[in-house]
Amino acid sequence: MSSAIGKRLVTRKLIAASDRDRSCFEGSDIEHLVLYPEVNGHSPATLQNAFPLIAVAFSDEGEADLKERLTALGSLGTVPPMAVQRLDPANTTDSFPLLRSLTEGGVGRIARYSASITSELALLRRERETLLENYRALEDAFQARNWEPVSEIFSHDPYADPKDEGIGQLLATAFVEQLLPVSSLGVAGFALHLHSVPRISGELVVALSYLESGEGVAEWIVPYAQLVATWNFFSLPRACGGGARTLRLRISSAGPETVGLSLGYPIAGERYSARSELPHPDLDLRPLAFKVFTGLPGVKPAITHNMIAPTGLLEGQYIVDYRLAVDLLSQIVDVSVTPMVPEFQTVRFLEHEHAIACHPLQSGITAGAVSRAVAPGTISFSANAAIDHPEGRPAAVSFLLAPSNSNARSEVAELARKGTAKPSAFFSGWREVTSSHVVNISIQLNEPALGPMDLIILSRAVTDSVDFSWLKVSGFRLVKQSTEAIDVG
């Protein structure tokens, strides 16, 4: 290979020298290997195709100038420090072959390899900075789009149709169910829109579960006093995780009046419209007005005025929330224990109101029993009680859940005699009811009922008079709970 070709193949300048000694290298066979560092102000010019391995000076002026330039060159941090070798300009015939052997031998190859590594590192650093800049740009864009810790991912705005009849009766006697058309993954809460909230006692009951498995997520039992006539946010203590599933809302109410649960605009999909076990014209292809949020659990969205925590978490539990069927309530029988013989029927079924009337007497306990009303697996039972007459005298009311193989009248007699129920039964305790105050009575079992049980409704006098004390009990709600999927029996 000729010398000219060899010179063209060399791309690294491995010898540093001062520009004052340039004449000593001109015309030599190592001229193409010499770098003359340039300094712009106090910073060295960018090195290109250079990795100085040795510094050479032929004069005092060249040595002083070269040391100054090498000091500035060291600030780059990419070239190792090197000593200046002083050579005799009259003896270049011996010096140049040694320099050539150094730069083209083993040391030179190592230097060229090091220079390649340095170049690669510089390239990687530039690529890393580019990636970081792109990442920061993406992060800024993400933060700009999701600046709130809780983000709305789906909504149905409320729509008031002039022909709306209201779905309050469905909430009181049955339930309204709504599927959320989003994946459950990451859902941290939802908001329901109410167009009116009664100022009397009562509760809104909301249950959230997974459609595919029937497994419960959480339940909210909210007194009307905590609700507002706008968006109400129901929060979860932790966002839904695991596999993406379909969320189902089931909503009902307990009390003499119901909240004004808002409906949305009509939609084309029957699957995602609200439904109930009882037909209602307002639910014809209309969803509930609701919003779904993802993000940090326990953070209230800006559009809502309140945040409601769950009453109970149902993770790992299968929940069935249902009302007592009308045909069961109509089978109520009188099991009163009283020395008096009344002139009127004290226990009867109110067909048009789906309620039970239980009028107390001045002595003893007036009671009505519904056989096998409580299904196995029931964990809680509740109902509303009110005096259904403006001049009605106060009364006390209670519930008793007794095994289906027991005698209902003897269960009532045991309670009247001792003031406590048998160990096999569940007693709610007495609650006083007046014509101006409606109460919600509930029984929470420690464990799900193992078998079917009878429901016994009891009343007694609390004053000397029971005039017009027509006690009306309605809104019978039961919740079945199990660690395995169950069916309503």
CB of 61 within 8 A of CB of 55? no
Task: Determine the Cα–Cα distance for residues 387 and 394; give it in Å rounded to an integer.
Answer: 7
Task: Determine the Cα–Cα distance for residues 263 and 477; give it in Å rounded to an integer.
Answer: 23
Residue 101 CB partners (closer than 8 Å, separation 6+): none
Residue 298 CB partners (closer than 8 Å, separation 6+): 188, 235, 237, 307
pLDDT at 247: 94
Question: pLDDT tens, 13-25?
Answer: 778 888 888 888 8
pLDDT at 8: 41
pLDDT at 108: 64
Task: Determine the Cα–Cα distance for residues 406 and 404; give it in Å rounded to an integer.
Answer: 6
pLDDT at 155: 94
Question: pLDDT tens, 360-404?
Answer: 998 999 999 999 999 888 888 888 888 988 889 999 999 999 998
Q: Please calculate the CA angle 278-281-283 and round it to the nearest 5 degrees.
A: 75
Per-residue pLDDT band for 122 (boundaries 50, 70, 90) equals confident
278-286 average pLDDT score: 87
pLDDT at 6: 45
Per-residue pLDDT band for 357 (boundaries 50, 70, 90) equals very high
Q: What is the mean pLDDT of the chain?
A: 83
Residue 394 CB partners (closer than 8 Å, separation 6+): 387, 432, 433, 434, 435, 462, 463, 469
Task: Of 373, 388, 381, give the one whose Cα is nearest residue 489.
Answer: 373
Q: Please calculate the CA angle 101-102-105 and round it to the nearest 5 degrees.
A: 70
Residue with tokens 């005699």: 417
Backbone torsions φ then ψ of 139, nearest 5 degrees: -65, -40
pLDDT at 78: 65
Q: What is the maximum alpha-carbon separation in the chain?
A: 144
CB of 116 within 8 A of CB of 85? no
Question: pLDDT tens, 305-350?
Answer: 999 999 888 776 777 777 888 889 999 999 999 988 888 899 999 9
pLDDT at 263: 95
47-61 average pLDDT score: 79
What is the pTM for the complete model shown? 0.54
CB of 401 within 8 A of CB of 425? yes
Per-residue pLDDT band for 489 (boundaries 50, 70, 90) equals very low
Task: Determine the Cα–Cα distance for residues 412 and 425; give it in Å rounded to an integer.
Answer: 11
Per-residue pLDDT band for 111 (boundaries 50, 70, 90) equals low
Please check the confidence at residue 3 and state whether its pLDDT lies above 50. Answer: no
Question: pLDDT tens, 456-465?
Answer: 999 999 998 8
Task: Determine the Cα–Cα distance for residues 278 and 285; give it in Å rounded to an integer.
Answer: 15
- For residues 297-330, one letter each, b for 16 or more C-beta atoms within 10 angstroms of the residue's C-beta and e for the rest, the string is bbbbbeebebebebebebeebbbbbbbbeeebbe
Encoding tokens for residue 277? 């076990």
pLDDT at 488: 46
pLDDT at 274: 94
